[in-house]
Chains A and B, each alone.
Chain A
């Protein structure tokens, strides 16, 4: 009887803990994707200025570029726990190869930070300078997505 209740308790724990883990990862995935959304929105502000769709405004451009630099300083490893890849869970395009090359992923995140600083320095100049500085940022995005992000589901 004791053994049965122990077995039931173990089973119940297993049953309860699996969704709890999945929920934990969903928070990580939201955080990851949220920071990329913040990047995208601010890149959109600068891209619109660079393309001449929105008139250049130094304060707006600087705030957007500063925000991109701020996001680039978020410490990444806690957001990428093992088992939160697109083979293991739904709702992510993060490929398992990320966890085999964490050092390279970290270096590529660092490269984004460098490119973001270039954007920060250019933001106060004019639309053309912003356009030129957006190139390396786009390059940093691609360099990582090329290897580590699956195509759209």
Chain B
């Protein structure tokens, strides 16, 4: 009896493993953002962004910790987390969407990724033009888009308004490997 159950459990595990192997993950994805104004240029980079793609469902998800963004000036990191993003209350930013007309077998393709980005618990639908590469089964995606500061209800005091751009340019690049649980 015991042996049968163990066998059944193993079999069950095997099935779930096969199902999951269609997913690829990026653990050190890069997301950076830029704010260019005549007063000050602000630049930040996060090298620990997580992303997962389900190749069969053509779905993509991204999750990052806001306090993992690095700035040139350490005080900017503090202000970003404490005064603007409030990462105490909203530690993560996420994205979930579909890659439209995605063909996993193509080597290079430019596709639209459509989905919902969540920053500070505020959701916004975006469409991003993305370049997807597949070099011998190693997928990577990259692209850039703009986000409006206003959309996420980020409060900027009037005195500092000239220092921060209204539109923030975001750049991303993820390199994937097979996902095993």
Q: Do A and B come from one complex?
A: no
Residues of B within 8 A of A (CB): none
